[in-house]
Amino acid sequence: MKFGDIIQGWYEKNHRQLPWRSTTDPYAIWISEVILQQTRVDQGEDYYLRFLREFPGLKALAEASEQEVLKCWQGLGYYSRARNLHRAAQEIQASGRDSLPDTYKKLLLMPGVGPYTAAAIASIAYGEAQAAVDGNVARVLARLHGVEEAVNSPAGMRIIQQLADSLMEESAGGEQGSTRESAARKGQKFSSGAGIHPGLHNQAMMEFGALVCLPRSPLCKSCPLQSYCQAYALDCVGELPRKRPSRKPLKRWLYFYVFTHENKVIIKKNGKGIWQSLYTFPVVECEQEQSETAIYDEIFLGLLHRIEDSENSQVNEPLPFERDIRLGEISESFLHQLSHRTLHARFVRVELNPLPFRLEENYMEIPLAEVERYPLPRLMERYMKIAKF
């Protein structure tokens, strides 16, 4: 039996019923693929459904504000992906189109769309024979073919992509991509005789890696591809795929100051960085953990001077040391793990009378009750759930 027949048969009997698998709408597939790139399926499903409720199509997404898009994305992390979705929708609408590009090469020109996302959309929505390689697929192919190269190295990625392309060609029956593209543009379904639809092939490969060829404790004994698997034959399944070690995340300590007065609070819109365009309380980042004395004294006063627009302040406005300042409790430490940083965050309550009359650019004073209307980092969201103002 051919590989394609085995993987198709397994998929049809065992795949999970997920909402994005019941559509060939390129927009919906695009949204699902971006959400699922760094999110588990059980978490991503709710975000996917919510995003489509808020922005059911390209027009709705393009016409939304960045703040609305980021707020809907809140909790998923990797906010640059939400900004790229928004920018891509705006560019498509500005070009006069009302749908996503319909070929792999054109999809690659969209902001934030790389080879994997373009291949997934092109194959599932348009039937174009492009192999989509995510972590699950790379693991399956590395074990099946006994790939010794690290799959996250340039050489390893080339090998895995070549293997994926070869399997796609075999499973899809060898039909040329141009024929598929033409059929897709005419609204025709893919047909290649005994071949498998490219989108079905890609989804079967990804699902197989997610449910059978697991990173740890793969289900080798019941695996329908066991006879094809070099890693199983050589008893080295646990050693593959090989990966280059990633850099150790940098440790950083963040101190957020919650400046409040008469049910108002100061927040800041962030510029470039991990939380670009998101809102936080004024914050100081340190390379080492700080003592409570430093948190209450020099760090606090330095930040207070920084958020005030001293150049445009009135002469009769009180200086920081002339204010009524009540330093409150310091929260417990919140651990937040990013791919390249380990953040330890604490929140400091400060009752400040009065709040600054003039604020530096990007800082703003808002009612406390309105904080959660703004797009916030997950770290802030966690704090807000337990904070009692």
* Radius of gyration for the alpha carbons in the chain, expressed in angstroms and rounded: 26
Question: Is 207 a residue of the active site?
Answer: no
Q: Give the closest residue to 303 by CA, choosing from 348, 343, 345, 261.
A: 348
Contacts of 84 (CB under 8 A, 6+ apart): 34, 111, 112, 113
Question: Which letter does DSSP use for residue 149 in this model?
Answer: S
Pick the catalytic residue: 12, 33, 169, 361?
A: 33
In the chain, the N- to C-terminal Cα span, in Å, equals: 66
Q: How far is Cα of residue 349 from the mean position of the Cα atoms in its chain?
A: 31
172 vs 167: CA distance, rounded Å: 8
Q: Are strands 341-353 and 363-367 parallel, antiparallel or unpaired?
A: unpaired
Contacts of 88 (CB under 8 A, 6+ apart): 110, 111, 112, 113
Half-sphere exposure of 307 (CA within 13 A, CB side): 27
Coil/strand/helix, residue 285: strand
Phi, psi for residue 77 in degrees, rounded to 5: 75, -175
Torsion of CA 201, 207, 208, 210, to 10 degrees: 150
Q: How far is Cα of residue 120 from the mean position of the Cα atoms in its chain?
A: 16
Q: Are strands 341-353 and 250-261 parallel, antiparallel or unpaired?
A: parallel
Strand-pair partners of 353: 324
Which region holds residue 75: left if phi is over 0, alpha if psi is between -120 and 50, else beta? left
Which region holds residue 174: left if phi is over 0, alpha if psi is between -120 and 50, else beta? left
Q: Please list the active-site residues.
A: 33
